[in-house]
Structure 1
Amino acid sequence: MRLLPLILLLLLGTAQVGADPQPPALRIGYGVLSGVDLSDPAIRSLGAGIYNNWRTEKTPATPDGMHFVQTVHVHQLLTCPLNSENAWNREACPYLEPHSYQMTPTLAELGAVAQAQPGALWLIGNEMDRRDWHLGGQDEMLPELYATAYHDIYTTIKASDPTAQAAIGGVIQATPLRLAWLDRMWESYAEQYGEAMPVDVWNVHNFVLREVFQNYGADLPPGFAADDARAVVYESDWTHIDLAIFDAQIRTFRSWMAARGQQEKPLIVSEYGVLYRHCAYWRWTGETFVCDQNFSDEQVVIDFMLATFDYFLTARDCTIGYGADGCRLVQRWLWFSLDHPANGFNAYARLFDSDADAFTPAGIAFRDWVAANREALTQPIPTDDRPRVFLPRVAK
């Protein structure tokens, strides 16, 4: 930051210098993509209590008691190098046989981090249900192999830190296809290890994206046919910010959990936001085209963001929600993102513009909403009080 701290604090309306820090708002946070200094007074004024940078860190920054979410990356091994020219094409570059996977960090490195960060929340994978794209990808993996990887990583973490909280990697959205991927994961784990998959915290992303093979949006999950009739294709991309669908997906995921005896577990939405930045509907006036549904509109983004914050904080349903948390459907959520590049996803969705060294309008709205709801956001988040123990590997 280039502004003097005192001036910056006054401009941001934060506490006076020397005042005791407020309790962290542990229910709300964001993803971090760049090297922004989270200890800077301006960033701290956002008031978030949890963040994720999609990495594993032995000594993460935790200003004002923020929680850092550890992320272990996995990927099914291919017959060509990851992110190479044909790595997205399963005809030109199929999965290696027999099926196996790679991970970052290694199991040895993982144990050392777990010992150094007792009680941390661990996300095992990230969007394993997303097929790779040209020269890029997430953590693509068949659900049966993911069950194996989860077991290997889970047992390593628990051996080093029995108090750790383990979560599955977030699938992109709770659609029929993604839930079918989870069904295969869940069933395969039981088949391989003779017990239900041990999960301390459930995790999902809650984007609303079209499911079209090798096309923009969420694509189709690995292990499913390109013409699978369960794929969701919306008539308009404007559904990307449809709050009714947003709510339905959360309830669907919670129902999936409840049907498998997982209702009394916390649920975190570790990534969501407004990715699209195009015009969803052009209207012809008789003389020119006018965009009536434009994602590149700061107020559109802010309205959606604040509506989801209100939803997460208040949505309750005792038939599927977490009883220990007043039947809330979601316990924690992370907005995408604090600082993604303007030329990446929707520039209006980032909270902080690193190039301009300033908050975006969305960042100001985020900060003000957290300040107005701090008491509710700082309420303790119940966790499963059953002992978390190391589960020895069961021979397959």
Structure 2
Amino acid sequence: MWKKLLALGCLILAAGLVFLLHPDWIAHPRARADAPTRAPNAPSTTFMPYIAQNFTLTVNPLWRFGADKVRRPIAAYSSLDIAYMRLGWYIDFSASANPELLYGMEYVPMVRMKQWKKLADGTPTLCCVGCAYLDPPAYSLSPSIAQIQAIASGRPGMMWIIGNEMERIDWGGLGGVCGHQDEMLPEMYAQVYHDVYTAIKVVDGSAQVSMGALVQPSPLRIKYLDRVWAEYTRLYGVTMPVDIWNIHVYVYNEQKNSWGADIPAGLTETVGSLYQIRDNKDFTKAAPMIENWRTWMKNNGQQNKPLMTPEYGVAMPEWVQDPPGTVTFSPAQIRDSYMYPSFNYFLNQINSSIGFPADGNRLIQRWAWWSIDYDDGECDPVDGKFYADNSGNLFYSGFGPTTPPTNCPYPAQSRSPFWDYWAQYVQALPAGATKPYAYTPAPAPILANKSPRAVATYKPVTATTQCSDDPALRARLLQALPSRETPEGQRAWINALSKMTAGTRLCLTGN
């Protein structure tokens, strides 16, 4: 009898081991426990997906949902984690001839640009706070026109974004160092857009071309857009051809010498939309701006065009407090006041007066969250802690700070709390169509028979030009900032970091 009992016990033990070790029942590993701690007064529900190691990847992306690639290749992260996010598209703030194409994701290239300025001695420069523009005007592109056409002809039918935050003026003032996006006057942008749009359409009539996104859809930014719109018609005698409209959705202050987005290039105002720092995570402040942008589109004959946001989210890092002493930007707070409300709004907000008829009168057709993995920051030499620059990253890259010192503890490569929030939301959504509307891009424009005034010329960047994502430049941008431990110091950091959303990553290498 004891032999039978022993045999039965061994059988049960073996079955238990098979159950535990069989790949069908091995849960996907969780992210490391050294992720940023959540605020005690902002509890959250952690989503723990049940994914087997032999999980069959089902390519079922959500066409509307995208994200912004920054620090690592997407393939550097777990294939299960990436597939589980159901990303439909992504940008990387450049135009690559060989992009990553994974799990049905669409790559959207972006052409970068900059209007040339001149130093006090007349030396041309791409970045200078307060400097005059070069005369006669000139601009630079990355990639060059020839490279753009090679990419477009090699991969026809792509959607293109022409520029990134072109109205954002250069910032800096820290030891004379300059940070920038794609600053140029609105009249200059009208010319650059024409040149790039035409170059793409000549080699690929099926391409869909989008105007570059401004920082946010505020009334002050719409003034910049008005000047672009009017200048294009004045120069070329036709309405500016835009296949897809494009805007970033942030809540930023618009005021000289303050945190936020500053005043658009070429405008003389000193104040625009004013917000508190805590408003950066309040989507109810962003929604009316989106409706104002759609209203502009309708008033200018563009209602029947798609609108997307290729970069949006909450830029303020978790250590920022407004008012002081109050936890303001914990992951759970951002989820509840911005991430989930934005998803709900984009998917469900209908407006028959200003919405896009081909998409059930929704206001926005596609959106890309900031960011997949922008987790750069600084090691504070005083307290030895790591302070992130931004918030909202779905993954930790594990790279830590770009600039020295780098000897403080920072998150290893892993999923962040925002990955959990994202996955929990998208896994509940139905498959949906590949594209929710039928849209035919416009062909290359036929220009009116007129002779516009002399337009700007393309002036390539020399090999000695310093890229704005150079670690030494970043270090110089930040090293003069005071300690975060004082209210004045924290304001200085917020002012600097609020201007670094989606950059300082511009590297122009035109040839």
Say whether the fold is shared (TM-score over 0.5): yes
The answer for the alignment partner of 1:332 in structure 2 is 366
CA contact (8 A) 1:45 1:367 kept: yes
CA contact (8 A) 1:133 1:214 kept: no
Aligned residues: 374
The answer for the alignment partner of 1:130 in structure 2 is 168
The answer for the alignment partner of 1:384 in structure 2 is 439
1:366 aligned to which of 419, 422, 442: 422
Give the C-alpha shift of residue 311 in structure 1. 1.1
The answer for the alignment partner of 2:352 in structure 1 is 318
Taking structure 2 as the reference length, the TM-score comes to 0.69
Partners of 1:340 and 1:35 in 2: how far apart?
9
1:197 lines up with 2:251 in the alignment: no
- Residues 182 and 70 from structure 1, CA distance in 2 versus in 1: closer, same or farther, beyond 3 angstroms? same
1:274-313 → structure 2 map (5 Å cutoff): 274-277=314-317, 278-282=320-324, 290-291=325-326, 293-295=327-329, 297-303=330-336, 304-313=338-347
SS class of match (1:210)? coil
CA contact (8 A) 1:88 1:131 kept: no
1:108-127 → structure 2 map (5 Å cutoff): 108-127=146-165
1:346-365 → structure 2 map (5 Å cutoff): 348-355=391-398, 356-365=412-421
Runs of 5+ unmatched residues, structure 2:
1-22, 31-48, 173-177, 379-387, 399-411, 453-511
Partners of 2:51 and 2:436 in 1: how far apart?
25
1:51 aligned to which of 62, 86, 90: 90
Matched-pair identity in %: 34
- Residues 391 and 349 from structure 1, CA distance in 2 versus in 1: closer, same or farther, beyond 3 angstroms? same
Partners of 2:75 and 2:436 in 1: how far apart?
23
Partners of 2:300 and 2:422 in 1: how far apart?
35
1:206 lines up with 2:249 in the alignment: yes
Partners of 1:74 and 1:8 in 2: how far apart?
46
Runs of 5+ unmatched residues, structure 1:
283-289
Q: Which amino acid aligns with 1:30?
A: A
1:103 aligned to which of 119, 141, 150: 141
The answer for the alignment partner of 2:305 in structure 1 is 265
CA contact (8 A) 1:29 1:51 kept: yes
1:244 lines up with 2:287 in the alignment: no
Answer with 1 or 2: which has the greater Rg: 2
The CA RMSD measured in Å over matched residues stands at 2.2
- Residues 342 and 58 from structure 1, CA distance in 2 versus in 1: closer, same or farther, beyond 3 angstroms? closer
The answer for the alignment partner of 1:222 in structure 2 is 265
SS class of match (1:281)? coil
1:159 lines up with 2:202 in the alignment: yes
SS class of match (1:218)? coil
Q: Which amino acid aligns with 1:35?
A: R
Partners of 1:257 and 1:340 in 2: how far apart?
32
- Residues 15 and 391 from structure 1, CA distance in 2 versus in 1: closer, same or farther, beyond 3 angstroms? farther
Partners of 1:8 and 1:55 in 2: how far apart?
37
CA contact (8 A) 1:38 1:44 kept: no
Give the C-alpha shift of residue 44 in structure 1. 2.5
Give the C-alpha shift of residue 381 in structure 1. 2.7
Give the C-alpha shift of residue 82 in structure 1. 8.3
Taking structure 1 as the reference length, the TM-score comes to 0.88
Partners of 1:348 and 1:205 in 2: how far apart?
16
SS class of match (2:110)? strand
CA contact (8 A) 1:265 1:383 kept: no
Q: Deviations over 1:347-394 (max 9, x none)?
A: 541100121221111111111211111434x45232433x53122566
Q: Which amino acid aligns with 1:391?
A: P
- Residues 256 and 213 from structure 1, CA distance in 2 versus in 1: closer, same or farther, beyond 3 angstroms? same
Give the C-alpha shift of residue 306 in structure 1. 1.4
